[in-house]
Amino acid sequence: MIMSRAGLVASVIIVLAIVVGAAYYALHSHTSTTSTITHSGTATKPTQAVTVATSVKTTTTPTTTSPASTPIPRKKTLIIAMGDWGAPSPFLFYPRGPGYVLTSFIFDTLVWKNQSGVIPWLASSWEHPDPYTWVFHLRRGVKWQDGWPFTARDVVFTFKYLMEHHWAWKTLSPSIIKKVYAEDNYTVVIKLAKPYPFFLEDYASTVFILPWHIWHNVTNPYSFRGKEAFIGTGPYMLKTYKPQQGYVFVANPRFWAGKPLYDEIRVVNIGFSNPQQAALAIINGKVDTATFMGKAYRVVKMIEQRVPGVRVQSGPMYWVLFLGFNLDKWPYNETMFRKAVAYALNLTELVIKATGSLKAALPGSPGYIPPYSPFYNPDIPRYPYNPVKAEKILDKLGLIDKNGDGCRDLPNGKPWHPVLIAPSWYTQEALIIKDMLKKVGICIEIKTVNSFHQLDALIKKGAYDLEINGHGAVGNSPTAFTWYFSGYFGTRWNNKTYWELVQKLITAKTKQEAIKYAKELQVVIAEQLPRIALYYPNIFVVTRPGVRVHWFFTAGGIDGGIPLPYNKLALITPKHSH
């Protein structure tokens, strides 16, 4: 519903009181709708919990015993606050970063990444003899969690199967991959339809390899929820998944790369949009580790005061919070209108008011890419705070206050109150934007939703004028320009120049050439402003003292952009560690 300004202000005052000074927090249930993806990629409620046998044999009857009835020593259990992101199967997790990360505990990829970059994983080595060819040499002796051997047949099958069934997470099509075949049981050749210099980062480190012996008979992967749907080669196996409650993973005794650090990992349903609950759980020892984004910086400082010896690590999120426009409606489809909005917003003031410190987040760049990106372009058009200039632009568009109520009206004289939709966690940002736009005569109404899941659904319906939204993979890989404005996180931006440059980028023969086009794309974005990057939050991972895991921030993010510190490498004791 559309909340009144008084109601919104009251909500923000309550939240700020909790964040800044309260000693205790009231625990409350997570209200967002848990979703999984269907074949069409839309969100639907899961209908049942998943219980998977802890045995590695698929013939074993699934256990129905609760974790509490067969307790694992607390020091061998890690409890993470991460929320509910759907069942952790490649076709069932909700298509945002946390869902992918949880699935990566079970499933492996050809290569993976650590804090420095790409490393061998299921493929022990690879060759790139020409711009169209990648040859992967697979590890021998790797077993699936049910005991079957891993071979090249699994890899070849996976790429073909994902293309056939239109994997929702990553586009795999004949326009990218021309041919995949096995030279022998441990050598796979991938022929590309066009040069793709970022294939390792964007595909080889992303595509979860599926077991042929399970999936080759599955005709609809988006409805496959049997226990076999959760069998991978990764360090942990799924024991249970209960919607709205959480996950229990157990160590895979057959894991090929070393010993899992924990016998059990529990992921509880405390999401990133509920930092107060996560903070209380950390303080009380109910969870071992939790992640906080940008504006929860005040909460992190409070935890440091309350828990002596707590470990706090921070890093760039490669994540953007943006103000989006419904580009299918006037005046939001007018470049000059979007520029007027940009001049009306003081982004530095917004960051300080919303997050408490410039240590928590960086103000947005008109080119959309954060300054810490290796392909950031500083030479782009900019829109310093200038409300007078904003008013002049709005006047030229015919958006004038015709009845003297302080709010601009449409050129035909009808009242105009643009609807801004936002997740409730970003209510404060919405209010700050409302105040700044009111100063230039744009009187917006705010509609809040409980989760990004619900926000995504409204956007797909076109039921908005403006949106506050966000996503990761900003500034990690230049190829992400292919989906920033494709319609996934708002109205598709149909700008000919932009998409022609994107095509040049994705067909570049070298990384240097691709980066050149990435910098040109930032100029186009800054000139046209299909969205306004509000800020780039930093990420903070807080871990209780005495907890063995030592997280790190993956180079460029997990899967080429997910900023979470929960890289599965931190949850493994390597075979050759000293």
| Residue 191, SS3 per DSSP | strand
Sketch out the chain's domains with CATH numbers: 37-288+547-578 (3.40.190.10), 320-537 (3.10.105.10)
Q: Is the four-CA dihedral 119, 125, 127, 133 of positive or negative sign?
A: negative
Which among 453, 473, 509, 470 is positioned nearest to 205, based on CA atoms?
473
Token code pair at residue 25: 């927090």
- Which residues are bridge partners to 81 per DSSP? 268, 290
Q: Please check whether residue 575 is in contact with residue 255, taking contact to mean a CB–CB distance below 8 angstroms.
A: no
Distance CA 107, CA 120 (A): 15
Cβ(513)–Cβ(375) under 8 Å? Answer: no
Query: And the tokens for 80?
Result: 């993470």
Nearest Cα neighbor of 410 from 337, 347, 360 is 337
For residue 231, give Cα distances in angstroms to 64, 103, 140, 167, 312. 18, 11, 19, 18, 34
Q: Kindly state the tokens that stand for 314.
A: 């921070």
Distance CA 528, CA 485 (A): 12
Q: 338 — phi, psi (to 5°)? A: -65, -35
Contact between 550 and 570 under an 8 Å Cβ cutoff? The reply is yes
Closest CA to 454 of 484, 425, 432: 425
Give the tokens for residue 115. Answer: 């804090």
Beta strands 36-37 and 289-293 are unpaired
Decide: 193 and 207 in contact? Cβ < 8 Å: no
Alpha helices in 323-417 (DSSP H): 335-344, 347-355, 387-396
Compute the distance between CA of residue 286 and CA of residue 277 in angstroms, rounded to an integer. 10
At 49 the pLDDT is 73
Angstrom distance (rounded) from CA 140 to CA 400: 71
- DSSP letters spanning 474-493: SSS-GGGHHHHTSSSSSS--
3-class SS of residue 204:
helix
pLDDT for 3: 38
Q: Which residues of the chain are modeled with pLDDT < 70?
A: 1-48, 51-71, 576-578
At which residue do the structure tokens 């409650």 appear?
Answer: 245
Q: At what angle do helices 496-506 and 511-528 cross, to 10 degrees?
A: 170
Of 529, 493, 525, 475, the C-alpha closest to 323 is: 529
Phi first, then psi: give them for residue 133, nearest 5 degrees: -130, 135
Longest dimension (CA), the chain: 78
The neighbour count for residue 395, using CB atoms within 10 Å, is 14
Distances (CA, A) of 85 to 452, 458, 462: 11, 19, 24
User: Across the strands, what pairs with 192?
Assistant: 177
Burial 467-480 (b: 16+ CB within 10 A, else e): bbbbbbbbbbbbbb
Q: How many CA atoms lie within 13 A of 46 on its CB side?
A: 25
Q: How far is CA 139 from CA 136, 252, 460, 505, in A?
A: 10, 18, 43, 33
Of residues 36, 82, 10, the one with CA closest to residue 274: 82
Quote the pLDDT of residue 456: 86
Q: Where are the beta strands (DSSP E) in 353-418?
A: 361-363
C-alpha–C-alpha distance, residues 517 and 519, integer Å:
5
How far is residue 100's CA from residue 472's CA, in Å, rounded to a whole number?
A: 12
- 3-class SS shares of the chain: helix, strand, coil, % to 5: 30, 20, 50
Instruction: Look up residue 279 and give its amino acid.
Output: A
pTM for the model: 0.75
* Residue 71 pLDDT: 63
What residues contact 217, with CB distance under 8 A and at least 6 apart? none
